[in-house]
Structure 1
Amino acid sequence: MALDRVIKGDLVLPGKLAENGWVGIKDGLVADIGQGEAPEAAEVTDHSGCLVFPGIVDGQTHAGSIAGFKGLQDLTRSGIAGGVTTIVDMPFDEPDPVWSRDLLDAKIDVANAVAHGDVALYGSVKKQVETDQIASLAEGGVCAFKMSTYESNPHRFPRIPHHEMARAFSAIAETGLTVAVHNEDQEVVDDAIARFKGAQQMGVNVHHPSRPPLAELLANAIILEMGAQTGVRAHIVHSSLARGFDMARQYRDQGFQATCETCIHYLVFDEDDVLERGARGKVNPPIRPDQKDAIWERIEVGDAAFVSSDHCSWPLERKPDDNIFKAAPGAPGIECMLPAMITSAEARGHGAVLVAQMMCEGPARHFGLWPRKGGIEVGADADFAVVARETYRHDDATLHCEMASWSPYDGMEFTGRVSETWLRGMKVFDGTEVLNTPGDGRFIRPV
């Protein structure tokens, strides 16, 4: 078989690192893998000494929170520059969440027209659940469903009442897909915020106590028990607490389908970092004191499904430091996710294999995208993130996210730099510039 291209480097394969490896590409797919002397090919790209990851799969992004579906263009361009070749985008778009088939079809059309990388999609539900729409969304190609126990906006980000959530869980169980839930209890959070506002305490220092651990743990209990009762795959979408992973494991030990993810900011920052960064460090649930190491420990024992960015492209004017309750929650992070994860993992004595488990194979399996995505495997899409083993200090001026040209990672020292990104056998990032055009990415369904 005549190969179109061979890429050489240290291949990050499922469960192992293949030093002095090579991967052969044919028609945009992985055609062969080996070590040592590589076969002949029309083109050879030599990255000897560099890590060659599968293309990163970011299992939680919010492309449409600002600009609607067209936000996919900016977010995927930034993702490509960070080695992210596939995103799983949340449904809470402006102006309408993706809770109907017509909205899903419209978002798919936009993704195919503007995306730089591949796009998988969540669906959602209305407060009064329409079970026929759940079935139609699944048929239309969503890879999971998302809802919330906390209402930040009655239309775009509603709280689903418990009885309606149970109806949705039962209907989603019939599709075989996962249901993921934003995990904060409305009453506990609203009461805490009201008390701090009443005391005129509105600085960043009250963000964590205004959304206390109790709110997260109560919501987890509802999500997991409802999943157990309905038979659905219940997923805690972003745990800021190690106990969230413990709770999911306890349900798995009882035979139920329960999983938990975390986000890169919970593995890199603690509350002191938030106090230093001000509103730029505001995410929901909050970054907690004394949880970073504990969450890492849950990853190390295999209790985390995957790690995501939770990227949201808020402009800085939406992040006022003088009133934390007016600051939008979330931050850009997709472009720094892989270097930050490599750096944090290395600091704990872990190599590239664990990083790939959490950012490639884990999310790909979770969303039904494996084996097409998430691994350097024969037959998979030839998606790669090439990482040079070098230390550098991140500068936000280099970011490719035009809607939000800032991040909480500015000035941080990383130990791996994304030097190239490949999408289906095509080089799409050269270490400085994104090379492909809007529409080169595709909507992808679960396998």
Structure 2
Amino acid sequence: MGEEVRLDVIIKGGEVVLPDGVRVADVGIQDGVIVAIAPDIQISSEQTIDAQGLYVMAGAVDAHVHLNEPGLGEWEGFESGSAALAAGGCTTFIDMPLNGLPPTVTVEAMNQKLEKAKSAGTYIDYALWGGLVPDNLDDLEALADAGVIGFKAFMSSPGETGGGCFKQVDDIALFEGMKVIAGKNKVLAVHAESEEIIVALSEKFDGRPKRSVRDFLDSRPLAAELDAVRRVLLFAERTECPLHLVHISCPQAVDLIWEAKLNGVNVTVETCPHYLMFTEEDLERLGPLAKCARPIRGLREREGLWARIAEGKVDMIASDHSPCPPSMKLDGDDYFAVWGGISGAQSTLELIIDEGHFERGLPLPLLSKLLSEGPAKRFGLFPRKGRLAIGSDADIVLVNPDAPYVLRPEHLLYRHRQSVYAGNEFRCRVMLTMSRGKVVYTLDRGIGPAREGEWQRSKRVSLRSST
């Protein structure tokens, strides 16, 4: 008689979210990889996880987080940030290049970040963005060859990030950089806001003893976003550079991007949970925790974004997790002086299921595509990441659809337990997160001891939208 076939793990009887629908099935895992998805797997296993009544989903791929190491680990580091992400059902993150000392604009800086990620350890897998700044055009090819997933550039001032070393690009540097990045078959992620418009409008408020939330909103209108989006779409068309537009805050910009897609521009669009959850009417109540750039918009914009999601015109949802010490979120009388970033990565998946599925009736496969498959495909991590399928990594999250709770600071695993979503009631809850077949988080036991996340280098990049 031959040896008995035995799996490492079987997840039994869950509502498995697949690209074509949701069905009750078992998921079999061997050596960190999904080897079977079937109604009733009749094979013994080392571990059996009862998932009856739970959603079984692909782990989220968060393509936009700032974990700030090396140099600014007191804001958020790889250990605490990856723990929070895992608790929120994320199994792969892509770390932005700007809030480190040094920022990731050279191969040497990238290696310093990698060394820190490996020495600190991460609970889940990760990839790294490189930066496009005015003075590193000669470094772009080497960064691409060294393994960055893509590049990030700002069309408006990013402030004092990276000790002031990460600068915005002017149109010449942006255009020339896009030509280099296109030649390396990488993606350029762009923060598209018009610096000229922002500076001109902000000057009205200079010298005032009090600068309010409303003043800040007036200094960064939709026009600043739409002007920059139009410009960078033209550059992408001319350079044939794969373009990714980050944290788009309004449906008008999505429409411009969609039109460009139809005309053959290789572009994808990302929005964030805070634009889908709040409106500018919430900002006075939420205070400095909700300050970000681009700012949160009005009700029309929020509902318009949800409509574009339902129409398949948005490619992915990412957290833009941008933490800082609590002292930097104290505004006094000057909202402009507050650090502009939202801590929220731990809540992304729960919020999108709540607001998208339960509140608006959007199908779970669509939401899973936005959270997992879309970013995995765009940044060359698919098919290992982003989908529950035979042969893919067993990056899996179990979600209880009927576990209402109020998010409290003590639930948060960030270095600083502050979140714009604290105090919100969620209907669903992450119960378990698995990275390459290993359980890294459970609700009852918390985060696990093993920090064995691996650096991911894209195998195929610059794919078009999967919509």
TM score, norm. by length of structure 2:
0.91
> Distance in 1 between the 2:141 and 2:375 partners?
23
Question: Secondary structure of the equivalent of 1:245?
Answer: helix
Q: Report what 2:219 is aligned to.
A: 210
Q: Residue 305 in 1 paired to residue 312 in 2?
A: no
- Counterpart for residue 335 of structure 1: 346
Q: 2:20 aligns with which of 15, 23, 38?
A: 15
2:399 equivalent in structure 1 = 387
Whether contact under 8 Å (2:72, 2:101) holds in the other structure is yes
Aligned runs of 1:174-189 on 2, under 5 Å? 174-189=183-198
Contact 2:35 2:391 (8 Å CA) reproduced: yes
Counterpart residue number, 2:413: 400
**1:314 matched to which residue of 2?**
324
Task: Tell me how far 1:96 sits from its aligned partner.
Answer: 2.0
CA contact (8 A) 1:14 1:361 kept: no
- Alignment-mate amino acid for residue 122 of structure 1: W
SS in 2 for 1:311: coil
More off after superposition, 198-207 vs 162-171: 198-207
Aligned counterpart, 1:31? 35
Does the CA-based 8 Å contact 1:62-1:312 persist in structure 2?
yes
Task: State the shift of 1:351 in Å.
Answer: 3.4
| Contact in 1 for aligned 2:106/2:136 (Cα 8 Å) | no
Contact preservation (8 Å) 1:66, 1:313: no
Contact 1:388-1:417 within 8 A present in 2 as well: yes
Aligned residues of 1:179 and 1:235 also touching (Cα < 8 A): yes
Structure 2 Cα separation of the partners of residues 68 and 282 of structure 1:
20
Pair 1:93-2:104 in alignment: no
Flag structure 1 segments of 5+ consecutive residues without an equivalent: none
- Aligned twin of 1:348: 360
Q: What is the deviation of 1:38?
A: 4.5
Question: Could you list the per-position Cα deviations for residues 23-56 of structure 1 after superposition, in whole angstroms to 9, with x for gaps in the alignment?
Answer: 1010111111112455322221111110011111
Classify 1:194/1:426 alpha carbon distance in 2 versus 1 (closer, same or farther; 3 Å). same
Tell me if 1:130 matches 2:137. yes
CA RMSD of aligned residues (A): 1.7
2:95·2:128 contact (CA, 8 Å) conserved in 1? yes
SS of equivalent to 1:41: strand
Q: How many residues align?
A: 444
> Quick check: 2:55–2:398 contact (8 Å CA) kept in 1?
yes
In structure 2, what is the Cα distance between the partners aligned to 1:37 and 1:14? 20
Contact 1:65–1:92 under 8 Å retained in 2: no
Distance in 2, Cα, partners of 1:59 & 1:201: 36
Q: Which secondary structure does the structure 2 equivalent of 1:297 belong to?
A: helix
Judge which range, 362-371 or 318-327, deviates more.
318-327
Instruction: Please report how far the alpha carbon of residue 152 of structure 1 lies from its aligned counterpart in structure 2 after TM superposition.
Output: 2.8
Q: Deviations over 1:214-250 (max 9, x none)?
A: 1111111121111111001112111111111111111
Partner in structure 2 of residue 418 of structure 1:
430
Q: Which amino acid letter does the alignment assign opposite residue 144 of structure 1?
A: G
Instruction: Please list every run of 5 or more consecutive structure 2 residues that lacks an aligned counterpart in the other structure.
Output: 460-467
Partner Cα distance (1:204, 1:12) in 2: 40
> What does 1:24-423 align with in structure 2 at a 5 Å threshold?
24-64=28-68, 67-68=71-72, 71-113=77-119, 114-131=121-138, 133-153=139-159, 155-290=164-299, 291-322=301-332, 323-345=334-356, 346-390=358-402, 391-402=404-415, 404-423=416-435
Q: What is the identity percentage for the equivalent residue pairs of Structure 1 and Structure 2?
A: 30
1:441 matched residue in structure 2: 453
1:204–1:321 CA contact under 8 A, matched in 2: no
